[in-house]
Amino acid sequence: MSKPNKKLFIVGIGPGDLSLLTQAAQKALKEAEVVLGYKTYLEQISPYLEGKEALSSRMTEEVERAREALRLASSGKKVALVSGGDPSLYGMSAAVFEVLEANREVFREVEIEVIPGVTAACAAAARLGAPLSNDCAFISLSDRLTPWEKIAKRIALAAEGDFVLVFYNPRSKRRRDQLKRALEIVKLYRGPETPLALVRGAYRPEEKIILTTLRKGEEIISQADMASTIVVGNSLSRLGKNFFLTPRGYGEKYRLGHEKA
Ligand SMILES: C[S@@+](CC[C@H](N)C(=O)[O-])C[C@H]1O[C@@H](n2cnc3c(N)ncnc32)[C@H](O)[C@@H]1O
**CA 127, 131, 135 angle in degrees (round to 5)?**
140
Are residues 241 and 125 both part of a single domain? yes
State the sign of the Cα–Cα–Cα–Cα dihedral 108, 113, 119, 122: positive
Q: Is 90 in the pocket of ligand 1 (CB under 6 A)?
A: yes
Number of structural domains the chain divides into: 2
CATH number at residue 91: 3.40.1010.10
Return per-residue pLDDT of the chain as tens, 261 residues: 445 579 999 999 999 999 999 999 999 999 999 999 999 999 999 999 999 999 998 767 899 999 999 999 999 999 999 999 999 999 999 999 999 999 999 999 999 999 999 999 999 999 999 999 999 999 999 999 999 999 999 999 999 999 999 999 999 988 889 999 999 999 999 999 999 999 999 999 999 999 999 999 999 999 999 999 999 999 999 999 999 999 998 888 878 887 787
CATH number at residue 147: 3.30.950.10
Are residues 71 and 126 both part of a single domain? no
On whether residue 255 sits in a domain, the answer given is: no
List the domain range (segments joined by +) for residue 142. Answer: 121-245
Burial zone of 130 (CB within 10 Å; 0-12 exposed, 13-18 middle, 19+ buried): middle
Are residues 70 and 144 both part of a single domain? no
For every residue of 73-128, which 3-state class applies, written as one string?
HHCCCCEEEEECECCCCCCHHHHHHHHHHHCCCCCCCCEEEEECCCCHHHHHHHHH
On whether residue 256 sits in a domain, the answer given is: no
Boundary (domain end) residue, out of 118, 137, 166: 118
On whether residue 127 sits in a domain, the answer given is: yes
Could you say which DSSP state residue 228 is in? E
On whether residue 134 sits in a domain, the answer given is: yes
Are residues 114 and 149 both part of a single domain? no
Q: Is 247 in the pocket of ligand 1 (CB under 6 A)?
A: no
The pick from 83, 128, 229, 231 for probing ligand 1's pocket by mutation, whose C-beta has the most ligand atoms within 8 angstroms, reads 229
CB crowding 131-163: b at 16 or more within 10 Å, else e? bbbbebbbbbbbbeeeeeeebbebbeebbeeeb
Are 118 and 14 within 8 A, CB to CB? yes
Residue 92 CA, ligand 1 centroid: distance in Å: 12
Residue 140 CA, ligand 1 centroid: distance in Å: 10
